[in-house]
């Protein structure tokens, strides 16, 4: 079965691209009436070239400078290019511009067809070949063969076919498990079938009946039928021209530049981060805030350049930038793009996508620029970690790695497992986060508590809801809750569902309160089961009376006092003695009244009632009518 690839043409207007394709394939790619009338190619055309071992979908592009956007749309997805130069004209402006565009698009395989050789003598042809060699020096076509041809006499056509087949053997094979993607370059209606979209499959495969995403609309569509080279097929894959009949799609809603892809693969964005190159022969640099026409896949979108690491990219140089687009676009990591001037008369430069879905980045932010740099210079794991970090507190999934880090679907899942095992990714609240982001969240929790401890140095712990509320700006309350629980488990914080404090925090008492602290502890130790009201120490606190409640919280936290209810506290030794006496008294199974417990403790009814209620509350006793019994015994009797 022949291998499927895409062959594209490039070159100046009237250099014979369409005639050459017709001579090779028998197909006239000028399908529009205006093209027939004017004798020039306006839009991209399509043909098929069968070379035995290879079957090529041929994309013929216009050469006129006014139709460069159509040329760019046609160049999307091509594997091999034939640069066409007429022998009687030699190198012309669009020859140069098309070559620059091919270089910007990352083309690696191609050859040169010298056309109209029947119109010139050998000397003129040789001069043209020398000019071509000078033009392609340093490019991917530097060592490419130049085949002298004539569409009229059919000179060199067989040699050209052999040369194309030889070049095709050098084209890398792509992984079959990649997700499907097809940028739309044309659409039309077939009577009785509905809307058909066409394009070059640039990754993956799709079958009849499959469901696809229609981007950037975000809608799901179903593949009703497929065609390749005008033949119905059950499946199309990378390297094929495809016509896809989509169910439930209105033709008027389809425009060039949209894409169909595996569900979840592509995400539309109006902001992309890029490596940006300014062409060497440009007279002016590409400046910050420059308005451009952004060519990505088959799309052309107006946009504004925001340079992140400089104020201008000088001719021949590279920079890091973001492009803010007027309309959303879909892309993947490493995808090439071209930028042209707003008037569409000049190609300014191009580059590669680093972040297909991006948020606005502050200019000259060193840490962020370093992480962006790793998206280009790093290995697969470094790119994956960069995607994870930029995913922020909402996390990321393996589709983000496929789209944003150039990983195959299976490789993405494996990379996540490896990075998680190495502790570089952490699962928090059902989302994967970069370890640095988890550390940042923990520091934010620490920062809030440090501030609260500083503002209330006597307060042992703070209301957990208030602590977490100060991190509401993160927009992920469940995430903050899980981070707090994580810190509690690791004993970086102390507390429960109601209160929180830093583990190392100790309340700081003034000298006067330290003295009062000793007096309070002594008073409660001496009075045992008839303790003073906590507010009775206000006069002794003097200027610190407002902090009296905090002092009692400190004494409770440090284990000197036990809070019974309201302003009633017991010394910790007294509270333990109370529990021991009551348990021994009720051990026989006979209950005791409040009065009997009062007498047992040697106190008054004023204290006996709240103390009995406290014992009920902490599970020592249980009330049965007018009696208190041991809670454990009551439970056994009930059983």
The confidence band for 263, taking pLDDT boundaries of 50, 70 and 90, is very high
pLDDT in tens, 310-345: 999 999 999 999 999 999 999 999 999 999 999 888
For the domain bounded by 3-168, which CATH number is listed? 3.40.50.300
pLDDT above 60: residue 41? no
Least confident range of 43-47, 68-72, 156-160: 68-72
CATH 2.40.30.10 describes domain 181-261: yes
Mean pLDDT of 4-16: 90
Percent with pLDDT over 90 in the chain: 71
CA–CA separation, 136 and 514 (whole Å): 86
Compute the mean pLDDT over every residue in the chain, rounded to the nearest whole number. Answer: 90
pLDDT above 50: residue 40? no
In the chain, residues under CATH classification 2.40.30.10 are: 181-261, 269-366
Check: CB of residue 372 under 8 Å from CB of residue 318.
no
Q: Which CATH class is domain 437-502?
A: mainly alpha
SS3 257: coil
pLDDT in tens, 119-150: 999 999 999 999 999 999 999 999 999 999 99
Percent with pLDDT over 70 in the chain: 95
**Which sign does the torsion angle of CA 101, 107, 108, 113 carry?**
negative
Which helix (H) or strand (E) segment holds residue 235: the answer is strand 235-237
pLDDT above 70: residue 34? no
Strands of the 493-495 sheet, one edge to the other: 462-463, 499-502, 493-495
Give the pLDDT confidence score for residue 312 in this predicted structure. Answer: 96
> How, if at all, do strands 3-11 and 45-50 pair?
unpaired
In the chain, residues under CATH classification 3.40.50.300 are: 3-168
Q: How far is CA 452 from CA 342, 440, 500, 532, 577, in A?
A: 54, 19, 11, 31, 36
Q: How open is the CA angle 76-78-84, to the nearest 5 degrees?
A: 105
Give the pLDDT confidence score for residue 33 in this predicted structure. Answer: 52
Give the pLDDT confidence score for residue 554 in this predicted structure. Answer: 82
Check: CB of residue 564 under 8 Å from CB of residue 614.
yes
Give the pLDDT confidence score for residue 35 in this predicted structure. Answer: 41
Q: Which of 187, 65, 72, 84 is nearest to 128 (CA)?
A: 84
513-639 is classed in which CATH architecture?
Answer: Orthogonal Bundle (1.10)
Q: How open is the CA angle 322-270-434, to the nearest 5 degrees?
A: 70
The confidence band for 36, taking pLDDT boundaries of 50, 70 and 90, is very low
Check: CB of residue 282 under 8 Å from CB of residue 349.
yes
Give the pLDDT confidence score for residue 616 in this predicted structure. Answer: 95
Tokens of 67: 């139709």
The confidence band for 370, taking pLDDT boundaries of 50, 70 and 90, is very high
In the chain, residues under CATH classification 1.10.10.10 are: 513-639
Give the pLDDT confidence score for residue 176 in this predicted structure. Answer: 61
pLDDT in tens, 526-545: 999 999 998 888 888 776 67
Q: Which CATH class is domain 269-366?
A: mainly beta
Give the pLDDT confidence score for residue 599 in this predicted structure. Answer: 95
pTM: 0.80
pLDDT above 80: residue 282? yes
Mean pLDDT of 544-560: 80
């Amino acid at each position: 079965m022949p291998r499927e690839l895409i062959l594209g043409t490039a070159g100046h207007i009237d250099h014979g691209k369409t005639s050459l394709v017709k001579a090779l394939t028998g197909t006239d790619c000028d399908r529009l009436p205006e093209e027939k009338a004017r004798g020039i190619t306006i839009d991209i055309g399509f043909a098929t070239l069968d070379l035995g071992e290879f079957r090529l979908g041929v994309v013929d592009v216009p050469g006129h400078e006014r139709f460069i956007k159509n040329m760019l749309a046609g160049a999307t997805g091509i594997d091999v290019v034939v640069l066409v130069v007429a022998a009687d004209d030699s190198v012309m402006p669009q020859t140069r511009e098309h070559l620059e565009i091919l270089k910007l698009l990352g083309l690696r395989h191609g050859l040169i067809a010298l056309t109209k050789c029947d119109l010139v003598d050998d000397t003129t042809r040789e001069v043209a070949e020398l000019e071509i060699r000078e033009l392609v020096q340093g490019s991917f076509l530097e060592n490419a063969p130049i085949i002298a041809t004539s569409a009229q006499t059919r000179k060199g056509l067989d040699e050209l076919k052999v040369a194309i087949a030889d070049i095709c053997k050098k084209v890398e094979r792509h992984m079959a498990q990649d997700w499907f993607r097809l940028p739309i370059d044309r659409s039309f209606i077939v009577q009785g079938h509905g809307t058909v979209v066409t394009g070059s499959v640039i990754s993956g495969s799709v079958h009849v009946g499959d469901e696809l995403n229609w981007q950037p609309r975000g809608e799901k569509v179903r593949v009703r039928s497929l065609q390749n080279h005008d033949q119905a097929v059950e499946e199309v894959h990378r390297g094929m021209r495809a016509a896809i009949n989509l169910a439930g799609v209105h033709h008027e809603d389809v425009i060039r530049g949209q894409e169909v892809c595996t569900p979840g693969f592509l995400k539309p964005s109006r902001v992309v981060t890029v490596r940006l190159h300014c062409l060497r022969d440009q007279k002016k640099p590409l400046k910050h805030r420059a308005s451009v026409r952004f060519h990505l896949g088959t799309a052309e979108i107006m946009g504004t350049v925001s340079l992140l690491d400089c104020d201008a990219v000088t001719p021949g140089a590279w920079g890091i930038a973001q492009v803010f687009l007027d309309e959303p676009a879909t892309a993947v990591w490493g995808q090439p793009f071209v930028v042209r001037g707003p008037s569409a008369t000049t190609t300014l430069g191009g580059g590669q996508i680093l972040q297909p879905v991006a948020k606005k980045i502050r200019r000259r932010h060193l840490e962020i620029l370093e992480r962006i740099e790793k998206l280009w210079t790093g290995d697969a794991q470094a790119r994956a970690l960069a995607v994870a970090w930029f995913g922020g507190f909402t996390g990321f999934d393996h589709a983000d790695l496929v789209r944003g880090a150039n990983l195959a679907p299976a490789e993405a899942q494996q990379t996540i497992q490896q990075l998680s095992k190495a502790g570089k990714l952490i699962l928090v609240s059902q989302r994967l986060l970069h370890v640095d982001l988890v550390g940042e969240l923990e520091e934010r929790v620490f920062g809030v508590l440090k501030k609260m401890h500083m503002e209330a140095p006597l307060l042992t712990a703070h209301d957990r809801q208030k602590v977490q509320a100060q991190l509401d700006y993160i927009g992920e309350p469940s995430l903050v809750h899980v981070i707090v629980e994580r810190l509690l488990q690791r004993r970086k914080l102390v507390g429960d569902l109601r209160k929180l404090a830093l583990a190392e925090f100790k309340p700081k008492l003034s000298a006067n309160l330290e003295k009062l602290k000793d007096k309070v502890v002594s008073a409660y130790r001496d009075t045992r089961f008839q303790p003073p009201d906590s507010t009775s120490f206000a006069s002794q606190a003097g200027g610190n009376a407002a902090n009296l409640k905090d002092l009692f919280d400190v004494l409770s936290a440090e284990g000197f006092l036990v809070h019974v209810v309201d302003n009633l506290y017991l010394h910790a030794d007294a509270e333990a003695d109370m529990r021991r006496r009551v348990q021994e008294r009720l051990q026989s199974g006979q209950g005791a009244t409040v009065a009997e417990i009062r007498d047992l403790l040697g106190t008054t009814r004023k204290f006996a009632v709240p103390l009995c209620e406290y014992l009920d509350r902490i599970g020592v006793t249980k009330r049965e009518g007018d009696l208190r019994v041991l809670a454990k015994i009551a439970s056994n009797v009930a059983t």
